[in-house]
Chains A and B, each alone.
Chain A
């Protein structure tokens, strides 16, 4: 302001016009609340955009959580440790004291040794025709990891293991081939007799067990010769979510002096898997939401332009009674921002309701990040503000005389 201008103001006794923030907010909100129906129609695009954003992200997160839950229960609780070199001389790496150390790790539910002998002839009597079947020896811990579902008879335990009792568990398919329907029946592995202790039809872990006969690990020495090269590994069942950690610690627990000679296989991190699922869904949803929000912004821009045209006289009046260009600009962008926010809030409510109803129907636990809701509402408001910039700038050029003559 020039000195001459300030001097003129002093003589006339006038102060710079000022619009309080509260008045600006009130003026912006009034135009919205006076015509709620029109506001709702104007913001349909924004509502759809925000609803799509919240709903798709919410559904993506919910699905991801659901996938991860299933993953945890079925597969993500299993770790397998084996020697890098099958012929490694460190044959005692799966001995009991080492297994006890492994079992002591936080997150281990069960752990035990397994020895895979390879195929052996199996027959009901020494005179009958043998069939080749995989033979697996497990200790009580490994059997607990595999958790066979016994349909007939019972499973063996540490008593059978310590006494090297010649007992065997048969998968249902093998038992049917041999015509065995009850426990106590004798079968021959090679020329060694074993008593069938139980028959199982399913396992929780290690599905290859469904094609093998299972004997106590201590009895496998009676089935091997010096030329055999059985394969040893250690099976571990973990608490949900602990598999990756146990995977990192198992080799150290079993063979701290040479842990690199052991190979550990743990399932992929379910969180990574979930993030991948969510990421795919979110990329799609973000694209769709962006399109909807742009449509919403165009809708608000049209409405604001129409509003400026229909309110030329009002804008002229405001200029006549002292409103500066910045006041007109602020009010109109405030109105379009309020429209965007209004649409965003309604859209968020619609999106949250959609996720909740879908989860209810599918019996899922809805997982909703409230930050997503806040982002949707703020993004809608920002789009609304952007949509109002050009019409508001045009409105500042309205001259009071021309406007008041309308």
Chain B
């Protein structure tokens, strides 16, 4: 589904090489975790996979389509309609309700308001926030905020869900709930890519990628993804 071939990305005047000849392939239904120490290049890898950033060289194909020659407008439409994003800092719009934040994920993708509202309610209900749809996101706990962010990411029925340190700002209880939610989404057929520096979270992947000094390597999962999911995330 997603294929990188010899992708490089360099930043700044000092030419820091964040990604070196990254080559990998992600299939439909994979639960891929990308781990590595801080500054290793794992977020750069996620940004390029999510079309939030462009490589300096190399090829990136989505469903066989090379993205290097696509315009920013088309890349934006791909992000909007094929991808969903969850960030460590949640990035919810303060002062708006949970429902409005989830709706925002569909504002730019041709979904009329009535349908948007219906979908947003259903999705919030599915992440366990059915009773808090009208709450101002400033009043929500960290775990609730991240669930709203996940609801926003999946409301548009994406093919791939990108999660950048989704549990980085959460306590252990909420971390567990968010991971269970991500596993549920994966079990429903969604391709999920999770960036994390937490080895425990990384071990949940059906495929585990490690990034160190810009070099991506893949290690074999301790258990196959379907087995992990079948056990409800208990390894």
As a 0/1 sequence over residues 5 to 35 of chain B, the CB contacts with chain A under 8 angstroms (1 = contact) are: 0000000000000000000000000000000
Most buried by B among A4, A35, A404: A404
B81 close to chain A: CB less than 8 A: yes
Complex: A324 Cα to B105 Cα, angstroms? 13
The residue that A320 contacts in the complex, of B71, B85, B109, with Cβ under 8 A, is B85
Tell whether, in the assembled complex, residue A34 and residue B64 are in contact, meaning their CB atoms are under 8 Å apart: no
Tell whether, in the assembled complex, residue B76 and residue A30 are in contact, meaning their CB atoms are under 8 Å apart: no
Tell whether, in the assembled complex, residue A313 and residue B77 are in contact, meaning their CB atoms are under 8 Å apart: no
* Interface residue total, chain A, C-beta cutoff 8 A: 36
Nearest-CB distance from B127 to chain A (Å)?
17
- Chain B residues with CB under 8 A of A8: 65, 70, 74
Nearest-CB distance from A134 to chain B (Å)?
84
Tell whether, in the assembled complex, residue B76 and residue A319 are in contact, meaning their CB atoms are under 8 Å apart: yes
**Interface contact tally, CB-CB below 8 A:** 98
From 43 to 102 in chain B, residues with beta carbon under 8 angstroms from any chain A beta carbon are 47, 50, 52-53, 62-65, 69-71, 73-74, 76-82, 85, 87, 89, 91, 93, 95-96, 100
- Chain B residues with CB under 8 A of A4: 69
Tell whether, in the assembled complex, residue A30 and residue B71 are in contact, meaning their CB atoms are under 8 Å apart: no
Nearest-CB distance from B105 to chain A (Å)?
6
Nearest-CB distance from A317 to chain B (Å)?
5
Nearest-CB distance from B123 to chain A (Å)?
14
From 1 to 30 in chain A, residues with beta carbon under 8 angstroms from any chain B beta carbon are 1, 4-5, 8-9, 11-20, 22-23, 27, 30
- Chain A residues with CB under 8 A of B53: 401
Complex: A13 Cα to B47 Cα, angstroms? 22
User: A4-B69, A322-B81, A401-B52 given as contacts; is B74 within 8 A of A15 (CB)?
Assistant: no
- Chain B residues with CB under 8 A of A9: 74, 77
Tell whether, in the assembled complex, residue B76 and residue A17 are in contact, meaning their CB atoms are under 8 Å apart: yes
- Chain A residues with CB under 8 A of B77: 9, 14-17, 322
- Chain B residues with CB under 8 A of A322: 76-77, 79-81, 108-109
A400 close to chain B: CB less than 8 A: yes
Complex: A86 Cα to B30 Cα, angstroms? 115
As a 0/1 sequence over residues 103 to 116 of chain B, the CB contacts with chain A under 8 angstroms (1 = contact) are: 01101111011000
Dominant SS among interface residues on chain A: helix
- Chain B residues with CB under 8 A of A11: 63-65
- Chain A residues with CB under 8 A of B89: 313, 404
Dominant SS among interface residues on chain B: mixed
- Chain B residues with CB under 8 A of A14: 74, 77-78, 80-82
From 316 to 369 in chain A, residues with beta carbon under 8 angstroms from any chain B beta carbon are 316-324, 327
Nearest-CB distance from A229 to chain B (Å)?
92
The residue that A22 contacts in the complex, of B52, B109, B113, with Cβ under 8 A, is B113
Tell whether, in the assembled complex, residue A320 and residue B64 are in contact, meaning their CB atoms are under 8 Å apart: no
- Chain A residues with CB under 8 A of B95: 34-35
Tell whether, in the assembled complex, residue B108 and residue A15 are in contact, meaning their CB atoms are under 8 Å apart: no
User: A11-B64, A22-B113, A27-B107 given as contacts; is B52 within 8 A of A320 (CB)?
Assistant: yes
User: A12-B63, A314-B91 given as contacts; is B112 within 8 A of A324 (CB)?
Assistant: no
User: A5-B70, A5-B71 given as contacts; is B76 within 8 A of A15 (CB)?
Assistant: no
- Chain B residues with CB under 8 A of A16: 73, 77
Tell whether, in the assembled complex, residue A18 and residue B65 are in contact, meaning their CB atoms are under 8 Å apart: no
As a 0/1 sequence over residues 227 to 256 of chain A, the CB contacts with chain B under 8 angstroms (1 = contact) are: 000000000000000000000000000000
The residue that B62 contacts in the complex, of A12, A20, A27, with Cβ under 8 A, is A12
The residue that A317 contacts in the complex, of B47, B62, B91, with Cβ under 8 A, is B91
Tell whether, in the assembled complex, residue A400 and residue B107 are in contact, meaning their CB atoms are under 8 Å apart: no
Query: 11 other contacts beyond A5-B74, A319-B76, with CB at 8 A cut-off?
Result: A1-B71, A8-B70, A12-B62, A13-B81, A14-B77, A14-B81, A313-B89, A314-B91, A320-B50, A322-B77, A327-B108
8 A-B residue pairs with Cβ-Cβ distance under 8 Å, sorted by A, are A5-B70, A13-B81, A14-B80, A17-B109, A30-B100, A320-B52, A321-B85, A404-B91
Chain A: residues with CB nearer than 8 A to chain B? 1, 4-5, 8-9, 11-20, 22-23, 27, 30, 34-35, 313-314, 316-324, 327, 400-401, 404
**Nearest 4 CB-CB pairs, A to B?**
A322-B80, A322-B108, A34-B95, A17-B108
